[in-house]
Amino acid sequence: MRLFYSPFHDFVHKVLVVIYEAGLEKDVEKIPTFPFRNLDGEWVAGQYDISQLNPLGKVPFLALDDGTILYSSQVVVEYLDSLSQRPLFPASGRARFDALRRLALGDAIFEFAVQMSMEGWRDPQDRRSDLFTWLWPKIDRSMDQLESEAAGWVDFDIGHAGTLQGVSYLDAWASGRDDIPGSSFSDWQQRWPEMAAWFAATLQRSSVQSHYHVAYEGDTSAENHAVAISAVQRNKDSNA
């Protein structure tokens, strides 16, 4: 299997967490993919084209050995988890839907944060202030909800993995900053202490430590990416 993803490890990737928790590290080849900027901050849009495999043009996505393409991180993690002897997705009932609910919250927090972070790429006079005033209250309400639950969390499931991704991205991008319009995350650990305690403890999991704040080591070139794309396309064609 090949995982196409952007190896920015200043936040927790739930897909990488699931791969580790499922014991699939040796079964998944990671293909660095940069839709916009690379690890050096250089603008490389168009150099890592994935459109022939993924019509959404988004990472992460997973290419199976038979050429099947799975996109949307929620689909990718559910497939990977289905191969695990210790699944993070509860099998059924209330526990399953509670985990999916938290996964939805975590994924939304992440998407909102990415949107605002990317808005910061614009020149100051071109930034849409209404985007920030629209999205921050959604994040605040989500964090309030998670804060009310965090003290009761004992196990680790897919909802926690999604939550960890969203909160870690916000922590990396917004913590300690006072220049982000409408941000409530500059001192978030004081505002949401139960979440802060859970966050600090959960960062110690081996599946997190395996990549969080660990520099990516491997070929990140567009040429390597193109070779992987071609290999997946050949697999697709041979199994069509």
Residues 80 and 160 in one domain: no
Residue 75 has pLDDT above 90, yes or no: yes
Question: Of all residues in the chain, what percent carry a pLDDT higher than 90?
Answer: 98
Q: Which of 99-108, 122-131, 134-143 bottoms out in mean pLDDT, i.e. has the lowest? A: 122-131
pLDDT digits (tens, 9 = 90+) for 160-184: 999 999 999 999 999 999 999 999 9
CB 113, CB 174: distance < 8 Å:
yes
Residues 130-142, mean pLDDT to the nearest whole number: 97
Residues 187 and 226 in one domain: no
> How many domains, in total, are found in the chain?
2
Rounded distance between C-alpha atoms, residue 176 and residue 182, angstroms: 14
Residues 74 and 151 in one domain: no
Rounded distance between C-alpha atoms, residue 236 and residue 2, angstroms: 13
Rounded distance between C-alpha atoms, residue 47 and residue 32, angstroms: 12
Residues 123 and 190 in one domain: yes
pLDDT digits (tens, 9 = 90+) for 182-199: 999 999 999 999 999 999
Structural domain of 8 = 2-86+214-238
Residues 88-110, mean pLDDT to the nearest whole number: 97
**For the domain that residue 232 is a member of, what is the CATH number?**
3.40.30.10
Residues 120 and 161 in one domain: yes
Q: With bands split at pLDDT 50, 70 and 90, how would you rate the model's confidence at 144?
A: very high
**For the domain that residue 123 is a member of, what is the CATH number?**
1.20.1050.10
Residue 49 has pLDDT above 90, yes or no: yes
Residues 201 and 117 in one domain: yes
Residue 240 has pLDDT above 90, yes or no: no
For CA atoms 186, 191, 192, 196, the dihedral sign is positive
Residues 24 and 108 in one domain: no
Residues 117 and 152 in one domain: yes
Residues 42 and 130 in one domain: no
Rounded distance between C-alpha atoms, residue 234 and residue 240, angstroms: 10
